[in-house]
Each structure stands twice: as structure tokens, then as C-alpha cells.
Structure 1
Amino acid sequence: MGKTLIEIDEESLAVAQEACGTKTKKDTVNRALREVSDRVKRHEARMAAEHIAAAALDLEDLTDKAVYRPGRTAGDD
């Protein structure tokens, strides 16, 4: 873990400390960074799952009755 000197908005830090339930600046910043990182990873996983689902679900096949009712035609009643 690296050590970095940065300026932090004290008002935002106080809000983040309250939301995270942390006491120190270091704990607050690290917790906030982890939460953002986790959010990004969840979003990427959701996008990947949606891509997989979209590839597996071909809507044209679902709307083409000949595909899911083989052997039947519109006049077979």
C-alpha cells in the first residue's frame, strides 16, 4: 500500500465518515475506495451477464412460430 499526500474536502470527509461509520481519515478513504471498486466490479459483472443472456436469447427465434412449432404452419388448424 502506498503513502500519498492529498488535500481532502473536510465537509465531504465528515459526511463519508458518518455514512461509513469510520473514525479516521485513512479508514474513511480506504472504505470509500473499496466501495467504489466493488460497485464497478458488480456493474461489470452485471453487464457481462446481460451480454451472455442477450446472446443466448434470440428474440427472432421466439417470434418465429416455425422455429418453436416445427411441422406446423399457419393453415394447420
Structure 2
Amino acid sequence: MSATNIEVNPELLADAMRLLGTKTKKDTVNAALREVVQRLKRLEALERMTARAERGELDPAIRAYEARKAAQRSDA
């Protein structure tokens, strides 16, 4: 890891510490960065999945799932 000196808004830091449940400034900044990265990665994945759905790439998987569910219902 590298050491970096930054100025941080104390009110935002206090809010972030409360919301993230962190105790130190370092833990808060690292948790906030981790949260942002994870959130943006999930958004990117959702955008890729949406594009696949729009191209119809998920249709075979949906049909297979529906067929399995129908088979389970008929077995019951």
C-alpha cells in the first residue's frame, strides 16, 4: 500500500464512518473505495447482461428454466 495525504470533508467522513461502521479514517476511506469499485463493477455487469438480453442471447436459458419448472410441477 502507499501512503497518501488528502484533505477530507470532516462531515462526509463522519457520515461515511457511521454508514460503513468503520472506526478509523483509513478503514473508512478503504471501505468507501471498495464500495464504489464493487458498485461500479455490478453496474457494468448489469449493463453487459442487459445488452445480452436485448440481443436475445438469454432466451434459450429462459426456455430451459421454464421447461425445468414445468417438469417439476408435473412431477409433484
Provide TM-score, normalisation by structure 2.
0.72
Moved beyond 2 Å, runs of 4+: none
* 1:23-71: CA deviation from partner (whole Å, max 9, x where unpaired): 00000000000001000000000000000110117xxxxxxxxxxxxxx
Q: Runs of 5+ in structure 2 lacking a partner?
A: 58-76
User: In the alignment, which residue of structure 2 is the partner of 1:13?
Assistant: 13
Q: Distance in 1 between matches of 2:34 and 2:13?
A: 15
* Counterparts of 1:48 and 1:11, CA distance in 2: 36
Aligned to 1:25: 25
Return 5+ residue gaps in structure 1 as ranges.
Answer: 58-77
Q: Which has the higher helix share?
A: 2
- Please state how far the C-alpha of 1:2 moved relative to its aligned partner: 1.5
Q: Give the TM-score normalised by structure 1.
A: 0.71
Percent identical pairs in the alignment equals: 51
Aligned to 1:55: 55
**Cα distance in structure 1, aligned partners of 2:56 and 2:2:** 44
> AA paired with 1:27?
D
Q: How many residue pairs align between the two structures?
A: 57
Deviation at 1:5? 0.5
